[in-house]
Amino acid sequence: MPRVIGLTGGIASGKSLVSRTLKGLGMIVIDADDISHEILARDTSIKQEVIRIFGKEVCNERGGIDRETLGRIVFFQKPELRKDLEAILHPPIREEMWKRARESRSDNVVLDIPLLIETGGHERVDLAVVVYATRELQIQRLMARDGISRQEAIRRIDTQLPLGAKASVAHYIINNTGSAEETEEQVTRFYQAIREHKTS
């Protein structure tokens, strides 16, 4: 079993940049969002359960689940249904991620999980890495990225645990309040430390 590194952050904190950089350095990264997409595409029973709860409006023209529509519902229109969606998707996602981790022949495997700490997953991994940015930076980045209002950005960010709270339980913090180049340098240092077994 490889050493399992849990990578998490918050909406618009820069986790995707860190994940891409780790992949570029040659690390195996198993992405929860990618697996969610795969499960919704291949598992008919799960797809039908999502449709039963959210209605046929979440289906695209090809009969699959429109993730953008689904996200709009759970973030803005009916946030009370977000827990229902998580109850459907999280167990099979976790199962598949750990299956792939166990089967990996790499010394280190990264599990990229947005809600790693909210779901208690940080207690299961060997190292929990949090990508940190200030709340105001999150708001500004999310507004620019998704073309949404400040109020909408705040509402989405508030669906997750504050980054300060996540950072308090992390083994390692990558500070993404600077430039992309500065963040990439931090990721490279982390990667080197992992390879040299200097992290605990």
In this prediction, residue 199 carries a pLDDT of: 56
Ramachandran assignment for 178, one of left (phi > 0), alpha (psi -120 to 50 degrees), beta (any other)? beta
Query: What are the φ and ψ backbone dihedral angles of 68, each rounded to 5 degrees?
Result: -65, -45
CB distance 97 to 111 below 8 Å: yes
Tokens 């904190």 locate to: 13
Number of other residues whose CB lies within 10 A of the CB of residue 16: 14
C-alpha–C-alpha distance, residues 93 and 113, integer Å: 10
In this prediction, residue 68 carries a pLDDT of: 86
C-alpha–C-alpha distance, residues 10 and 158, integer Å: 10
Tokens 């209605």 locate to: 55
In this prediction, residue 75 carries a pLDDT of: 81
User: How do residues 142-188 score in pLDDT, each as one tens digit?
Assistant: 999 999 999 989 988 998 999 999 999 999 999 999 999 999 999 99
In this prediction, residue 198 carries a pLDDT of: 56
Tokens 């080197």 locate to: 192
C-alpha–C-alpha distance, residues 159 and 146, integer Å: 16
- Residue ranges of the chain with per-residue pLDDT less than 70: 198-200
